[in-house]
């Protein structure tokens, strides 16, 4: 690591507005996002051939994805996951968290039903960015928990925003979600945006020796609904 980054007073976060500091829901008013739908293609996976849609936020240049199966337009609630980017878990098989297993489970469940969507939001590391998440992991390797590590780096526990779900759901004509999550603040944040969450579907997978502490801290400090027993 360079001397400059070691002495940086506050690591630079991603270009997202700060949300709740691990509190109940983001307190700042929802931002009205204009997302551009740029392109769509087939996405063959082991479970189904999805449609992959690329959106761009013109203000920040940030790219977001929707992975869609079947006809999601209309009043029938859509089985959905709002997934925050985790390169280490989603792409590098990291066992430090449950993200990769949750993403796979969500896609598999949607394939089983033949209808649903994953909104893949590019807010890595709960909004602090990839390098800062690795800084946080370094602090966790030295004994901090996931919340303490963020705070020691000068960040709130969770900087994510969900405002950009609105234009994505509007694009597809989705009216209500059956949301796969264990995060009560995610449900509250979406409902605060006027998005109907008709059902919260638990998605508790891949508890292992490497993420045991991480999951316990999420339950204790971030209020996640996590029970000891895992689902399939
Ligand atoms: N800052 C930080 N971010 C992390 C850490 N572990 C995972 N993440 C990020 O956390 C996000 C996933 O959030 P989680 O808190 O695991 O889960 P959630 O999306 O709030 O809730 P679920 O819907 O139940 O999965 C991704 O953006 C990960 O990159 C960590 O130790 N520190
Ligand atoms: Zn993760």
- Asked if residues 86 and 126 have their Cβ atoms less than 8 Å apart, the reply is no
123 Cα nearest atom in ligand 1: 27
Of the two residues 130 and 207, the one the predictor is more confident about is: 130
Q: What is the pLDDT of residue 232?
A: 47
Report pLDDT for 227: 72
How far is ligand 1, taken at its centre, from the CA of residue 199, in Å? 21
More confident residue, 193 or 30: 193
Q: Indicate if ligand 1 lies below 6 Å from the C-beta of 127.
A: no
- Ligand with an atom nearest the CA of residue 204: 1
Q: Is the CB of 119 under 6 A from ligand 1?
A: no
Global confidence as pTM: 0.87
Tell me how many degrees the CA angle 228-161-172 measures, rounded to the nearest 5. Answer: 95
pLDDT tens readout for residues 3-31: 333 333 345 554 333 333 344 345 455 66
Mean local confidence (pLDDT), 192-203: 96
With 80 as the cut, is the pLDDT of residue 228 above it? no
Tell me, in angstroms, the distance from the centre of ligand 1 to residue 74's CA.
30
Ligand 1 center from residue 227 Cα (angstroms): 17
Residues 26-49 pLDDT 10s: 545 566 778 999 999 999 999 999
Q: What pLDDT shows up at residue 125? A: 97
Return the pLDDT at 231. 54
Q: What is the pLDDT of residues 64-86, one digit of tens each?
A: 999 999 999 999 999 999 999 99
pLDDT digits 0-9 by tens, 99-141: 999 999 999 999 999 999 999 999 999 999 999 999 999 999 9
For 50-67, how does the pLDDT look when each residue is reduced to its tens digit (9 = 90+)? 999 999 999 889 999 999
Which pLDDT score is estimated for 220? 81
Cα 55 to Cα 175: distance, rounded to the nearest angstrom: 19
186 lines ligand 1 (CB under 6 A): yes
For residue 96, which phi and psi values (nearest 5 degrees)? -70, -20
Cite the active site residues: 158, 160
Q: What is the mean pLDDT of the chain?
A: 86
Residue entry with tokens 């998440």: 133
Residues with beta carbon < 5 A to ion ligand 2?
86, 89, 97, 99
Nearest Cα residue to 156 out of 27, 18, 7, 28: 18
Looking at the predicted structure, is the pLDDT value of residue 205 above 60?
Answer: yes
The ligand placed nearest to the CA atom of residue 126 is 1
pLDDT in tens, 171-191: 999 999 999 999 999 999 999
The torsion defined by the Cα of 129, 132, 136 and 141, in degrees rounded to 10, comes to 110
Which atom of ligand 1 is found nearest the CA of 224? 24
């Amino acid at each position: 690591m360079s001397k400059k980054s070691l002495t940086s007073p506050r690591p630079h976060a991603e270009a997202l507005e700060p949300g709740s500091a691990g509190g109940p829901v983001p307190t700042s008013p929802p931002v009205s996002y204009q997302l551009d739908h740029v392109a769509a293609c087939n996405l063959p996976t082991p479970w189904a051939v999805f449609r992959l849609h690329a959106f761009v936020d013109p203000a920040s240049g940030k790219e977001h994805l929707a992975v869609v199966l079947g006809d999601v337009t209309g009043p029938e609630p859509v089985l959905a996951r709002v997934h925050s980017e985790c390169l280490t878990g989603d792409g590098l098989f990291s066992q430090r968290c449950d993200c990769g297993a949750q993403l796979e489970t969500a896609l598999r469940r949607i394939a089983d039903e033949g209808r649903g969507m994953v909104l893949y939001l590019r807010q890595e590391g709960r909004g602090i960015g990839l390098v800062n998440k690795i800084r946080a992991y370094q602090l966790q390797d030295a004994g901090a928990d996931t919340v303490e590590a963020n705070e020691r780096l000068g960040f709130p526990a969770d900087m994510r925003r969900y405002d950009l779900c609105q234009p994505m759901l509007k694009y597809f004509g989705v009216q209500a979600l059956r949301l796969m999550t264990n995060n009560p603040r995610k449900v509250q944040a979406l409902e605060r945006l006027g998005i109907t969450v008709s059902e919260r579907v638990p998605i508790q997978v891949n508890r292992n020796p490497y993420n045991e502490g991480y999951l316990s801290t999420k339950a204790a400090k971030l209020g996640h609904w996590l029970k000891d027993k895992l689902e399939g």
